[in-house]
Structures are given as structure tokens and as C-alpha cells.
Amino acid sequence: MDLKEKLLSSFLAFEQKVDIESDLHDVRNEALKVFENKGFPTKQEEAWKYTSLNAVLATDYNILPKNETDVDWKDVKKYFLNDVDTYKVVFINGVFSSHLSSTTHDGLDVCLMSSALTKPKYKMVIDTYFNQIANKEDSLTNLNTAYAFEGAYINIPKSTVVSKPIEILYFTTGDSSNFVQPRNLVIVGENAHVQIIERHQALTDTAMFTNSVTEIFASKRAIVDYYKLQNDVQTANLVDNTYIDQKQESRVSVHTFSFGGNITRNNLNFYHKGERIDSTLKGVTIIGDKQHVDHYTLVHHAQPNCESHQNYKGIYDDRSTGVFNGKIYVDKIAQKTDAFQQNNNILLTDKATLNTKPQLEIFADDVKCSHGCTIGQLDESAMFYMQQRGIPKKEAKALLMYAFTDEVLSSVTIPDLQLKLQKLISMKLGVNIGFEI
Amino acid sequence: MLTIKNLHASVEDKEILKGINLEVKAGEVHAIMGPNGAGKSTLSSVIAGNENFEVTEGEIILEGEDLADLAPEERAHKGIFMSFQYPVEIPGVSVTNFIKTAINESRKAKGLEDMPANEMLKLIKEKSELLEIDRKFLSRSLNEGFSGGEKKRNEIFQMAMLDPKVAILDETDSGLDIDALRIVANGVNKLKNENNAVIVITHYQRLLDYIVPDFVHVLHDGKIVKTGGKELALELEEKGYDWVK
């Protein structure tokens, strides 16, 4: 039985644990039908031209999460921020881990999707937001909706500045392969401010597949800083579908740091629902071996006077492959749009490949849209400068690559995360820079 | 200390240096002057080991050792320093972290351990005070957003930290106002001693009011066409380069 059939037939077993009389279940049923019709994306589709899931779909995955597996804090401590207190929503093989988590209902909700989807007190919020911005055509998003059950539920009331970052961690572990489908919902009220870090991490070298969907709603003047840290093991695969709905004057930034995993696909979608919105999409990709990272971004400028800033940096070693596809739509009504997109890449070997494609569709006539992409080697004059100061070629190269990522790294607003990323990047690049002074 | 014998160098098969001879002894300051295109910057690049230039003939000898087969970083470890006309910006790497890396790489090449942190801090403090450099400046990203004067002062700060045997100042005066020029020149004068040497490469005479040379060489079309004392610089300023052709 192939994976698609298995997913369709396992749905009956999934229905045993959910309320099939609920409105939500109608949504699930409909979503499953879309997936049944469309199946998994293939390279024949324009949007998946450079990323093939075929090889990783051949694995026989567990579809339904088993009971809670125990993981010791000391074994996973390093995947969390070090020195700052955070809210934590942690899952192991798709099941909530109460002992690793630190949730709250005190003035804000940082808790579980499974509660939000089933408890009556959340029904109004779920009816208003759940599956509202997610793409109804996308087959993997629909597959996730069909099985939507667990994930992080975050609701920040208006004018609340959340004092500490929220960490969402999805661990997979064990000797059998898991197909996990987290579903996150983030609602940020007017003038509220929140910082969120999301990470998917396999703890064993078993093939894993994560098909994740996150919906983020930013109300008027809300500020959301969202960080995705992808440094997974070689056998882990991730398709991340993130949908962001922005109201007027809101500011949302998503930084994606892709340093590992086998196949990583990031579908990042911004939709503007008001004026004077600011959207930031930034990323650093540093991969090697046969790793593959695909950034597929969309910014839909649907209202006047909004800005979007995209800046993706990539460093590709060995036989690794990268994709950047940046779509910008500017509707006719969206005058005075300021949309900026940049994608710079360094290929370290002849065998590394990158496909980069800006895709701008502009229907308004008074806009500022710019895009640029480069694929290159390192600046020779900069190399000579550093060598002249006594820094050998290899180290000079690493230092230059480190500098190349700085534009993205420097806009990370959580100091402890920035430090962690600095260390991760310098480790990846083999740079030995003392940060203590 | 540094001996250059019949040096010929080309870039993309075009010969730029056509037989340079130069003898620089410890404690001396040499100025190399000349019009644009004479080969001044090529000379400094070739001494520092820039691989874009091909040495076709001749020798560069530092304290008895031929530098021909040494990479730029190896020459730096031996004591060659070149202050760049256009220092490179390295975002995300502070002045302090950069110089720490440079010093420790040099120590590593000599088989020494990293310099202990307290010793490094002391050295940084001492040299930054010598050059009147604000401590805030040291935590900024290397050369990023620096003014022309700040870039050159940072070059001299690195020179102070690395303590080279031969320092080549390539067009250090370009883009500097008179105050910045004075600060940079004072820095060089404070670092100059009996055991090192300075080669000042410049188009104009004005830097030589502050860094007084023992010898002035005029470079024209890849050759040294005239050598004299500091008064030669003044004469050149007055009569122009056409005079020595």
C-alpha cells in the first residue's frame, strides 16, 4: 500500500478519537477529499519543479501518533534557548509532552491545539480563525487539515506584550518512522507583541516526515517575530506551510534558518488585509552533503501603502541543492506598495546546485518593486585583505561566509537566540571567532 | 631588512613592474612616489603576495629569506604588513574579534598557543589609547559604515596590534582630511622604531610633512627613476612628475 492509500485508509482509525459530529470534522472530511483528488505534489507541478518527494514517500511511516514517549530533559536541553526563561510547547512524535512543556493561561493562552479544537470555550475563536487563511487548494495543507488534531495554540489578547519568547518544539524519536502533522494556530491581538521560535527535531536517525501547517493572524498594529530553526538530522524531512494574515499597520517577520535535514520545503505565505503593513521574510541556508532546501515564498500585496522585505542568503557545499522561488503579487488597488526581494547565494563546489526564481506580478502602476539574485563565489579582494592580516585562506573563507549571513542574523530580536545562531553558523562554517569580548 | 632585486611583475601578461631595486634597512622610512599608473600599488600588492600578480623575474628578500613561494598569510606571519587603500568591510565581525583572530592565527603559525584573553585585552587597551581610538569603535563591525578616516585609523590600529617588521602604507592619505591625516601619521610615528621599517606609497607630498622619509624614490613606468632625500618630495611637488621622466 502506498503512502497516499495508507493516509486515506488510516483516516477511519483517526476518526475513532475525534468527534465526528462536530463542524470541525466536516472541514476535515472536505480537506481529505481535496488530498484524495490531488495526491502528493510531483515535479510536474510548476511549484514543485525542483523538489521531488518521491524517494521520501516510499518509506512506510506510522500515521497515527502512539502514546507519549519519554525523553529526558538533559538529552534535549540543547535544542532550547539557554539562558532565558521561555514558554514551551513540546511534542514527542506528535503527542504533547507535559513534563517538557511550560504552558500558560494566565493573561494569554499558550497551550494545546487539541484542547482548543475540542473545548467549547474556544469554539468561537476556532470558528473564526481555524483553516481561514490556509490555502484550500494545496494538497499537503489539506492533508494536514484532515488530520488536524495537535499542535500549539497561541492566543495573545490585545495590548499584551508577551514578556518571554515562546518555544514550539516537535521532537520525533524511536526506531520506527513517523509521519507527523502538527497544526499551529497563532492569534495576536491589537497592539500585542510576541516572539515565537519553532523547531522540528528528530532525535534518532530514523526516516521521519513532518507536514506542518501554521496559521498566524496579526491584528491591527500587532508585532510578531517568528523564527524557524531547521537543523535536523540527515533522515528528517519537513514540509512547512505557514500562512500569515496581517491587518493594518501590523508588523510580522519570519526568519528561517535552514542548516540541516534531508529535504526541507518552506512554503511561506503573507496576505495583506489592511494598509501600512510591514512584512519581513528572511532566511539563511547553509547545507552540504546531499541536503535539499526549497524556499517558496508568496507576498500578496492586496492593500495600498504596504511594505515587504525579503532577504535570503544561501551557502551550498558538496552536492547540496537549493531553491528560492519568490512570488510577489501586487493587486491593482495596492498603490504605493514597496516590495523588496533579494536572494544571494554562494556555491562552494561545482556539484552544488541552486535554482532561484523571482516571480513578480504587478497590477498597480505606482509601486516600488525590486528584486535581485546572485550566485557567486567569494570576493577575492576581501580574501586577500584577510590573508594579508595573517588569516589563512580556509579561515578567511569561513569568516567571509559568516559575514555574508550577518544581514539576516543581525535582525534577530532575541539576543540568546542570536547567540545560539551565531554559534551554529560558525560551527557549520568552521569559523573560530571569539565572541566573549 | 627588506631587499628587492630586479623585480618584474605582470598582470594578465601585461608587465607593470620592470626591474625594481630597493634596499630598506631597519629603522628607515622610505617613500615611493609617482604618477597614477606608475606601478606603486602593484609594488605593494606584490610584496604582500597578492596572487593576481605574477612575478616573472627578481627577488623579494625579508631578513635573508626569499618570499617568492609564500602565501600572503605566511608573509604576514613573517612580518609584512600592508595598509590597504580600500580596506574591506566585514559585517558581523567586530574590529576586536577580527584582530584577535589575526593575532592568534599568526601565533598558531609560530607554534604558539592563543594569546590569553587578559593579555589580549591589555594589548588592545594599550594600542587603542596610543592611537586615540574610542573603545566603542572596537565593537563595531570591521570597516562597515566607517568614514575614510576611521578606516585608515583602523588599519594603523591593526598594524600596531600585529607589530610588523615592514609596514607598507598604500595611499594611506587618499580620502583623508587634514585632521585625519595628522592622527594617522602620528600613529605611524609612534609605532616606528629602530627594529622596523616603513614604506609609504603616495601620490602627493603632503603625508610626508607628517611622516618624514629618510629616502624618496620616484617610480615611473615600472622602474625607480630617481632616488633622493626628503627634499626630493618637495621638489617633485613643485615641478611635477614630468620633471623626472
pLDDT at A436: 42
Grid-cell match 598594524, residue found: B159
User: Is any Cβ of chain B less than 8 angstroms from the Cβ of A394?
Assistant: no
Q: Distance, in angstroms, between B88 CA and closest chain A CA?
A: 6
pLDDT band (50, 70, 90) for residue A67? low
B146: domain range?
Answer: 2-244
Closest residue in chain A to residue B77, using alpha carbons only: A390
In single-letter form, the type of residue at position A133 comes to I
Q: Lowest-pLDDT range, A14-18, A139-143, A431-435, B49-53?
A: A431-435
Higher per-residue confidence, B233 vs A132: A132
User: Smallest Cα–Cα separation from B18: which of B245, B171, B220?
Assistant: B220
- Inter-chain contact A399–B105, Cβ cutoff 8 Å? no
Above 70 in pLDDT, residue A308? yes
Residue A383 Cα, gap to closest chain B Cα (Å): 9
Least-confidence region, from A23-37, A306-320, B152-166, B198-212: B198-212
Query: pLDDT-derived band of residue A150, with 50, 70 and 90 as boundaries?
Result: very high
Please name the residues in contact with A294: beta carbons below 8 A apart, sequence gap of 6 or more. A50, A51, A263, A264, A265, A266, A322, A323, A325
Check CB contact under 8 Å for A391 and B101.
yes
Q: CA A394, CA A39: separation in Å to the nearest integer?
A: 46
3-state secondary structure of A241: strand
More confident residue, A432 or A380: A380
Check pLDDT > 90 for residue A249. yes
Query: Residue B57: CB partners within 8 Å, gap ≥ 6?
Result: B6, B7, B8, B19
The chain B residue lying nearest A383, using CA atoms, is: B88
How far is Cα of residue B206 from the mean position of the Cα atoms in its chain?
17
State the average pLDDT over residues B161-174. 92
- Summarised one tens digit per residue, pLDDT across range A9-22 is 999 999 998 999 99
Q: State residue A437's pLDDT score.
A: 33
| A406 with B91: Cβ contact below 8 A | yes
Higher pLDDT, B187 or A226: A226
pLDDT at B242 over 80: no
Is pLDDT of B64 > 50?
A: yes
Residues of chain A with Cβ-Cβ distance to B72 below 8 Å are 384, 387-388
**Higher pLDDT residue, A400 or A115?**
A115
Average pLDDT over all residues of chain B:
91
Mean pLDDT of the A353-360 span:
95
CB B61 within 8 A of CB B47: no
DSSP summary character for residue B134: -
**Spatial distance between the Cα atoms of B204 and B40, rounded to a whole number of angstroms:** 12
What distances in angstroms separate CA A311 from CA A199, A263, A281, A404, one per listed residue?
A: 21, 21, 6, 12
The span from the CA of B34 to the CA of B48, in Å, is: 19
Residues from B contacting A (CB-CB < 8 Å) are: 48-52, 71-73, 75-77, 80-82, 84, 86-88, 90-94, 96-103, 105-106, 109, 117, 120-121, 141, 158, 162
Chain centroid, CA A170 distance in Å: 12
**Which is more confident, A394 or B125?**
B125
Is A404 in contact with A374 (CB distance < 8 Å)? no
Residue percentage of chain B with pLDDT more than 70: 100
* Angstrom distance (rounded) from CA B154 to CA B144: 11
CA-CA-CA-CA dihedral for A78, A79, A84, A86, to nearest 10:
-140
Lowest mean pLDDT: which of A120-124, A430-434, B159-163, B194-198?
A430-434
Residue of A381, A386, A389, A405 for testing the chain B interface, max B β-carbons within 10 Å: A389
The confidence score (pLDDT) of residue A259 equals 96
pLDDT in tens, B176-226: 888 888 888 888 999 999 999 999 998 888 888 899 999 999 999 999 999
Tally the domains of chain B.
Answer: 1
**How many residues appear in chain A?**
437
pLDDT band at B81 (very low <50, low <70, confident <90, very high): very high
Alpha-carbon gap: A226 to the closest alpha carbon of chain B (Å): 22
Share of chain A above pLDDT 70, in %: 98
More confident call, A379 vs A155: A155
Looking at residue A122, the DSSP 8-state letter turns out to be G
Contact A392 B71 (CB under 8 A): yes
Residue-wise pLDDT for A375-426, tens only, equals 987 788 899 999 999 999 888 888 888 889 988 999 999 999 999 998 899 8
Per the CB < 8 Å rule, is A433 touching B101? yes
pLDDT of B92 reads: 83
Q: Are A435 and B96 in contact (CB under 8 A)?
A: no
Question: What grid cell was written down for B16?
Answer: 607593470
Contact yes or no for A81/A421 (Cβ under 8 A): no
Query: What gap in Å lies between CA B198 and CA B168, rounded to an integer?
Result: 6
Q: Which of A26-40, A182-196, A405-419, B174-188 is least confident?
A: B174-188
What was the pLDDT predicted at A432? 65
Give the CATH number, domain containing residue B18. Answer: 3.40.50.300
Q: Which three cell numbers stand for residue A81?
A: 534557548
pLDDT over 80 at A68, yes or no: no
pLDDT: which is higher, A73 or B205: A73
Q: How far is B244 from chain A (nearest CA, A)?
A: 33
Long-range CB contact pairs, A6-11, < 8 A, 24+: A6/A60, A6/A61, A6/A63, A7/A35, A7/A63, A7/A143, A7/A147, A7/A179, A8/A32, A8/A35, A8/A36, A10/A63, A10/A64, A11/A146, A11/A147
Whether residue A434 has pLDDT greater than 60: no
CA A63 to CA A287: how far, in whole Å? Answer: 29
Average pLDDT over residues B112-125: 93
- Average pLDDT over every residue of A74-86: 92
Binary contact (A405, B109; C-beta < 8 A): no
Query: Residue A382 and residue B90: Cβ atoms within 8 Å?
Result: yes
Grid coordinates in use for A393?
Answer: 585562506
- Looking at residue A43, what DSSP letter applies? T
The stretch A30-46 carries a mean pLDDT of 96
Is the model's pLDDT at A146 over the cut of 80? yes
Residues in A touching B50 (Cβ below 8 Å):
384
pLDDT of residue A435: 47
